Amino acid sequence: MKTNAKISQKNNGLLSVYLWCLSFIWTYKWRLCFLILTGIIVTGTQLVVPKLIQFSIDHIFPNKDYLLFIYLLILFLILLIIMFVTATVQNWLKRTLQEYASRDLHLSIIKQIRLLGFSYYERHPIGETLAFINTELTAIQELYRILFPRMVRLIIFSIIAVIMMMSINIKLTLISSLSLLLYYFIGPYFEKKTAMLSKSLANNRVEESKKVYESISGINELRINSAEEWDLSNYLKTLKLLNMNMISMYWYAYWRASVRRFSYYSGGIVLIIYGTFLIQGNTLTIGEFVGFLLYYFSSMQMITNVITVITEQKVLLYQAKKIFDFMQTTAEITNPTSPIKLSEIKGEIEFRNVSFYYTDNLKVLNKIDLRISPGEKIALVGASGSGKTTMLKLIGRFYDPQEGEIIIDSVPLKKVSLFQLRESLGYVFQETFLFGSTVKENILFGNPHASDDMVYKAAKVSLAHEFIMELPHQYDTPLGERGVRLSGGQKQRIAIARMVLKDPPVILLDEATSALDNNTESEVQIAFDNLLKGRTTIAIAHSRETIKKFEKLVVINNGIIVEKGSYNDLIAKKRYFYNLMNNEVEHEIL
């Protein structure tokens, strides 16, 4: 069984993607209905104008009826006021609807990012995820802000305009449809070409974003290896491909627009010829003909634009499909449907015949049996790749084992809610992640509701208070991105302060001091000793001095527990652990 996240087998066609995108708008359906209603009013007032012009030409100007002309101007002014007020309401509805939908979309993506299992991010680099989310999210926002409102407006305008044209002369309306046939015969070729290039362009932009992210992330390695020119050359290749597709897309877009103009101007010439014939035969007035032409040119521009908008929407939907697929990815680790709530987690942990493998042919843990009593402190020892870190990940339910089960306080881990489980665990990694906010906010990460006094006490227990007070703004000092202003030892003491504040019954240490020098490690170890008092502790230890401090050592080799016992007992047995400590493989212990 592979740990790959399972993708939903639903129909992931563009229609499904489109409906999914619009679902965030449909949440505000009443606002949407009012938006459409205001659109109908605005379009209706705009399309009354040609009728007024028709009436003026046929009745007011020939009869020189200036009183009626004044009434017409007053009516025109009233229509302008109605159009202005309604357009203002329409614009407010449109903007708020777009922003609400974009906000909800953002929130749903953030929730999905947090919901997905650790395995997803171990297989998908951060740069890749950020690149496609940033690029494709912009595509969906463009769908909300430009294309969807534009499509609604085009449809409303086209329907009302065609009705107006038919009310004037049905024959002229039928003849005008020939220009549409001309466009739909030639136009789709250029639409398709533009869409294909736009799709390629979207992929180019994702690739370009990844290159930029990698260049910034690896700036130190590039500089120290004098590889800036190599990196710039690779980026330039990506940029040239993007520019080439951009130019080709603009070229086809130009021909697409030219074909559209040619089609409705050609239709306009035919209408002028036939309209002149109708006027001479007294079956059409000059005012009716002028009004019809005004409707024709405005409606043809709108109707032919529908194809363009549909094509552009398809391009955006190809991009949006990546986010849609991402959102359909189901998390491997989920909450139990009816979790068992433990009144208090004491910290008894048991592995029962646990086996785990990342792929079918790579078994990392093999039939692990291990019981850890509440408050007991054990160290996992073994060479690199023996399965130590995997055991900690299984306790935190980063993954679930394929065979066997893990028990906490006599309850299977899978039946405990993820929230209660992770609230009861304190995980300290080899490299502590610090946010760019202040020292105090980074410590409060362990318990956001803690008081200032509790923060100061936690910092003192972790031996961080002294160096914090020497910072420019003490606890209110911003730490910069990933805590760049602190040393490795200082970062670890902040991490320990978090755990003191969180006060979990179980502590998991994943090589928490391996990146520190000997002097710093000794200082941090004192802080760790303060943290671990009275708590169940499972640590991956790497140095002899650290290993000696644990009550029991669990020695792992190739995913199998080969020895258990105290440091002195295992050394006295002179087996695998003894060889690990003394036969020049100690540097492999991680």
> From residue 397, how far is each of 334, 350, 383, 483, 541 by CA, in Å?
9, 14, 23, 27, 21
What gap in Å lies between CA 52 and CA 39, rounded to an integer? 20
What gap in Å lies between CA 103 and CA 108, rounded to an integer? 9
Query: Tell me: the pLDDT tens digits for 205-258?
Result: 777 777 776 777 677 666 666 667 777 777 788 888 888 878 887 787 777 777
pLDDT recorded at residue 128: 66
pLDDT recorded at residue 304: 73
> From residue 230, how far is each of 219, 225, 235, 241, 399 by CA, in Å?
12, 10, 9, 17, 39
For residue 341 the two structure tokens come to 């709530």
How much is the CA Rg of the chain, to the nearest whole Å? 35
pLDDT recorded at residue 29: 85
Residue 474 sits at the vertex; the CA angle it makes with 473 and 479, to the nearest 5 degrees, is 80
As to burial, measured by CB atoms within 10 angstroms (0-12 exposed, 13-18 middle, 19+ buried), residue 66 is: exposed
pLDDT recorded at residue 85: 92
What gap in Å lies between CA 590 and CA 584, rounded to an integer? 14
pLDDT recorded at residue 535: 81
pLDDT recorded at residue 527: 66
Name the stretches of the chain with pLDDT < 70: 1-12, 117-119, 121-122, 124-128, 131-132, 135, 187-188, 191, 195, 213, 217, 220-227, 360-361, 430-431, 480-485, 512-528, 530-531, 583-590
What gap in Å lies between CA 559 and CA 20, rounded to an integer? 44
Classify residue 413 by its DSSP letter: G
Domains of the chain with CATH codes: 14-328 (1.20.1560.10)
What gap in Å lies between CA 327 and CA 308, rounded to an integer? 28
For 76, list phi and psi in degrees, rounded to 5. -65, -40
Task: Kindly report the number of other CB atoms within 10 A of residue 541's CB atom.
Answer: 24
β-bridge partners, 365: 356
Which residue type is seen at 565? G
pLDDT recorded at residue 585: 45
pLDDT recorded at residue 126: 67
For residue 198 the two structure tokens come to 């736009």
What gap in Å lies between CA 387 and CA 382, rounded to an integer? 8
pTM over 0.85: no
For 408, list phi and psi in degrees, rounded to 5. -125, 120
